[in-house]
Amino acid sequence: MAMANNKTQCFKCKKEKITYPCEGCSKRFCFTDLSEHKQMLNDELNHIINDCDQFKQKTIEQNPKNHSLIERINQWETNSIEQIQQKAQKCRETVIKSSQRFINDTELKLNDLSEQIKQFHKENDFNEINLNYLKNQLRKITEEFSDPSTIFIQQNSQTFINEISIISSKKSKWKQNAITVAGGNGEGQQLNQLHFPQGIFIDQKKNIFIVDCYNHRIVEWKHNAKEGQIVAGGNGKGNQMNQLNNPTDVIVDEQNHSIIIADFVNRRVIQWMNQKQQQILINNIGCRGLAIDKYGFFYVSDLEKNEVRRWKMGEYNNEGIVVAGGHGQGSQLNQLNYPTFIFVDGDQTVYVSDRDNERVMKWRKGAKEGKIVAGGNGEGRNLNQLSNPQGIFVDHLGQIYVADFWNDRIMRWCEGKEEGEIVVGRNGLGNHPNQLDLPMGLTFDDEENLYIVDNENDRIEKLEIIL
């Protein structure tokens, strides 16, 4: 009886032998070649490990200060400083030349007057008329010399230095199906419900503080909680110290363990330490939006005066300082028209949702007028337009995120661009996970997940970032 032939061709040596499969490459090798094949795979793995370790070491040794863009920024700084120095030197030379001519002219006039005085004195022939004439001439020369308006500085509001900014070519994206993290159980006043929510604040533990406007309360939803808890208000609509009336925005002062609220209808900004301890910080103000910066300054948008004011935290016994608007209602660059939400960055630059002008304005610290950084092309739903802009957030790259209220979408604008892009809300109005209905406030957590106050759906939506 013949033996069964269980030999097949080896992939490497091409000889008919007893072969063994390699699961990874689906080929068969004889015993000798299989050992060599496995050794080759092992060598390749070691090579990958070595490359990985070398790259890891290179990454550890990498200094962010040596980034290629840093050199370009340094060059821009050097060129800008040179331009400023050249301009300053030219202005100094102009002032010196003008001043010298003025001094020379004054000396000539004084010499001429001195000669006249000497002549009168020498001839000893003068009267009251002569003396009055000499007095008037001396007074005239003195006034001309003391007049500071002969030369002055004129500053142009348009910068002559080309500004630069860092723009990322890698745009962050978020899952389009949101997770409801608060509310979403219909309109109501139960602890698992919201009614016309507006502002929102996320603390370091990802707890969500929500302005539950028509329930006249602030509710806190712990991370992953099924219902909220009342941390301010909730005692009916009113103007007593333990009541709120249509609040619109909230910030949490984590350092002082308190909640600061824009109590809109009561026209006051009120601080809640707990349900038994409150204090009014600012009274008689059309407060709509709130912000706090890292330096301990507190900002309020006043829609009645069409301005944003700033106070030092704890020092509210003054009128504050106007940092945006303050020139009446209007659409000029130094005006606002119904400012709502505000955002303040690390440079104390103020961003304002200028609602009725359908735009977002940027006011640098100390600026006399703002700059349009989103919208400003009339109401509409084109990519260069907004419709009733509300909540805003500015990321570390200066990209502006806007809750485009009537367009049921969240927009992202890069400063200097003619139009924005839709981040969320491409699927029309609705209550599905990929839809919004009148978005109001928005913010991000420290992992760059996006939270949206879905106003008409009485819920808070979380969109997870796609890494």
Q: Reply yes or no on whether the pLDDT at 39 is more than 70.
A: yes
What pLDDT score does 327 carry?
96
**Interval 335-391: pLDDT, tens:** 999 999 999 999 999 999 999 999 999 999 999 999 999 999 999 999 999 999 999
Contacts 24+ apart (CB under 8 A), 78-81: 80/161, 80/162
Its pTM surpasses 0.95: no
Highest mean pLDDT among 82-86, 118-122, 317-321, 442-446: 442-446
CATH topology classification for 173-466: Neuraminidase (2.120.10)
CB 174 within 8 A of CB 445: no
Least confident of 112-121, 207-216, 335-344: 112-121
What pLDDT score does 433 carry?
93
Confidence class of residue 434 from pLDDT cuts 50, 70 and 90? very high
Closest residue by Cα to residue 293 from 351, 208, 371 = 351
Q: Reply yes or no on whether the pLDDT at 158 is more than 70.
A: no
Least confident of 27-31, 106-110, 316-320, 321-325: 106-110
DSSP character at residue 415? T
* Rounded mean pLDDT, 148-163: 62
* Rounded mean pLDDT, 61-82: 81
**Between residues 168 and 382, the one the model is more confident about:** 382
Q: Reply yes or no on whether the pLDDT at 152 is more than 70.
A: no
CB 441 within 8 A of CB 428: no
Confidence class of residue 47 from pLDDT cuts 50, 70 and 90? confident
Amino acid identity of 353?
S
Which pair of tokens denotes residue 23?
Answer: 């699961």
Confidence class of residue 168 from pLDDT cuts 50, 70 and 90? low
Q: Reply yes or no on whether the pLDDT at 128 is more than 60.
A: yes
Q: Reply yes or no on whether the pLDDT at 1 is more than 50.
A: no
Confidence class of residue 148 from pLDDT cuts 50, 70 and 90? low
Closest residue by Cα to residue 323 from 304, 307, 345 = 307
Placement of tokens 């900004």 in the chain: 269
Domain residue limits, the chain: 8-52, 173-466
**Interval 260-293: pLDDT, tens:** 999 999 999 999 998 889 999 999 999 999 999 9
| DSSP codes joined into one string, 430-461 | SSSTT-BSSEEEEEE-TT--EEEEEGGGTEEE
